[in-house]
Structure 1
Amino acid sequence: MYFISPTKGKMHIDKMFEDIMEFVEEDRQSNYRLMVGTDSQPGKSASCFVTAVIIYREGKGARYYYRKFYNKKVLSLKQRIFMEATYSIEIANQLFEKINKTDKRDINIQIHLDVGENGKTRDIIKEVVNMVLGCGFEAQVKPASYGASKVADKYTKTMANIG
């Protein structure tokens, strides 16, 4: 599985994790949050999904990575939201396993969901948040879910027309 760093290019998930840990090592005194969010956009023949991984050094900047992929099935909004959460949880689980093999076990992992009290997704907030909580991760919804609603969204908008 490959991710793209805007500054370093394409990298395998293992290399991305190494890059994240190097960023953490640069300032061991800071607090960090690892955010994973997925957004999707229906296209002409497929839905474009983008998962973003952001390592945030509280008050001092961040790095992010993303991967894009397509699903050719025609999906309802509810199906896409649950698929977004599932893709984010999948990546968060892989990163959680890697973190647990280091001495940085205090890095908080959040799942950023592209749902909010305003708009079409308000009716499924509780369901999708409970799904994330049930997997052991903290859930963020709009407006606090910028990993999905801003970072991943940026790349679904530019890629959706390709699908």
Structure 2
Amino acid sequence: MEKFQLYNFAFENLSRKNMSFQEVFQHVKSFMEKDRYGNYKLMFGTDSQVHPTYTRFITGIVIQCETKGAWACIRKVIVPRRMNHLHERISYETTLTEEIVGLFTEERKNQLIELILPNIYRGASLTIEGHIDIGSGNKNKTRIFVNEMLARMEALGIEAKIKPEAFVASSYANRYTK
């Protein structure tokens, strides 16, 4: 039972539209229940695209099992203006990812951990990652924001990933920003 009302948190994927966060969490949990010996990664990331009159942000949630594939969904947020300043856009992408990570409360994370806990010594695992659509290469304009955004993800207690490892943001979410 939700203790507070979640606003504007509608999720979708290719097979389902307008899912609540509780439905998303149940899909993640059900996916993990199929193989309690699996090596799981729960990953979050946001990408954006500036359009003529608005900026579209897509946040992806992906639960992946090394041997069993993945389940994923997205959340769309439209800002009704062009967000042309790179720092503002990257910062808002990180904020949207932080919002979704925050929905995975300690209680919910513990429910997921309890699914695999009996099998940890047999190789089962769960890691949680925040994927940020930035890179540290000399030619990458976003490199000056790397430390700031990494610190924000790490403050949430999750493993931060940047390009090229940040595929939930730079690849999965990116597909839906166009």
Please give the TM-score of this superposition, normalised by the length of structure 2. Answer: 0.82
The ranges of structure 1 where at least 4 consecutive aligned residues each deviate by more than 6 angstroms after the TM superposition are: none
User: Which protein has the larger Cα radius of gyration, Structure 1 or Structure 2?
Assistant: 2
1:93 to 2:135 alignment: no
1:45 to 2:56 alignment: no
Q: Structure 1 residue 79: deviation in Å?
A: 0.7
Gaps of 5+ in 1: 158-163
Secondary structure of 1:9's aligned partner: coil
Gaps of 5+ in 2: 1-8, 115-124
Give a deviation string over 1:10-49, Cα, whole Å, max 9, x none. Answer: 3111001101100100011101110000000111111100
* AA partner of residue 102 (structure 2): N
* AA partner of residue 34 (structure 1): L
Q: Structure 1 residue 98: deviation in Å?
A: 4.9
Distance 2:73 2:56 in 1: 16
Q: Compute the RMSD of aligned alpha carbons.
A: 1.6
Matches within 5 A, 1:5-154: 5-75=13-83, 76-102=85-111, 104=113, 107-118=126-137, 119-154=140-175
Secondary structure of 1:84's aligned partner: helix
Does the 8 A contact of 1:92 with 1:109 survive in 2?
A: no
Does the 8 A contact of 1:50 with 1:66 survive in 2?
A: yes
* AA partner of residue 11 (structure 1): M
Q: Structure 1 residue 107: deviation in Å?
A: 3.1
Distance 2:21 2:160 in 1: 22
Distance 2:42 2:146 in 1: 21
Does the 8 A contact of 2:32 with 2:112 survive in 1?
A: no
* AA partner of residue 126 (structure 2): I
* AA partner of residue 150 (structure 1): S
* AA partner of residue 114 (structure 1): D
* AA partner of residue 14 (structure 1): Q
* Bigger shift: residues 135-144 or 147-156: 135-144
Distance 1:110 1:147 in 2: 10
Distance 1:112 1:103 in 2: 20
Query: Matched residues, percent identical?
Result: 33
Does the 8 A contact of 1:38 with 1:52 survive in 2?
A: yes
Does the 8 A contact of 1:53 with 1:64 survive in 2?
A: yes
Count of matched residue pairs: 157
* AA partner of residue 132 (structure 2): L
Residues 28 and 63 of structure 1, relative CA distance in 2, 3 Å threshold: same
Q: Structure 1 residue 103: deviation in Å?
A: 5.3
